[in-house]
Amino acid sequence: HVQLVESGGGSVQTGGSLSLSCKVSKDATNNYCMGWFRQAPGKEREGVATIDSDGNPTYVDSVKGRFTIAIDRAVNAVYLQMNNLKPDDTAMYYCAAARRIGRWIGSGLVPAKHFDDWGQGTQVTVSS
């Protein structure tokens, strides 16, 4: 299993920025697809951004142009830079690893069902 530890959440006002980090327990970033998901109270979990082993990112439409997913393989970490935050971005954000997927050949985000290991989450709150 892969252990993942998220950090970087917090509270910001609309238009602000936050940078989330996910430290991964092994060199999963070299071989696995990684992703960021979020879940707001009363809502279903939603894929935010995924990045495959080739470094190809995909984003949910609502964050395109505002969020950036990135990998630093030297330190086994995955990041989510979030700019121009909106109240609708308020949620618990989770980092996840898909151990059975390297390069993603499908279209759009890698579905959550393919992700095997999940972090504990970090809270992001955006006030208007």
- b/e per residue, 65-93, with b = 16+ CB within 10 A? eebbbebeeeebbbbbebeebeeebbbbb
Token reading at 7: 């950090």
83-to-8, 40, 71, 80, 89 alpha-carbon distances in Å: 13, 18, 18, 10, 11
Structure tokens of 79? 């990041």
How far apart CA 33 and CA 111 sit, in angstroms, is 11
40 — pLDDT class (breaks 50, 70, 90): very high
pLDDT, one tens digit per residue, over 77-123 is 999 999 999 999 999 999 999 988 888 988 889 999 999 999 999 99
Specify the pLDDT at position 28: 72
CB atoms within 10 A of CB 30: 12
- Per-residue confidence (pLDDT) for residue 27, from 0 to 100: 75
Q: Using pLDDT thresholds of 50, 70 and 90, give the confidence band for residue 57.
A: very high
Residue-level pLDDT at 85:
98
pLDDT number for residue 101 = 85
Distance CA 21, CA 5 (A): 8
Name the token pair of 62.
């609502």
* Of the ranges 1-5, 13-17, 69-73, the best mean pLDDT one: 13-17
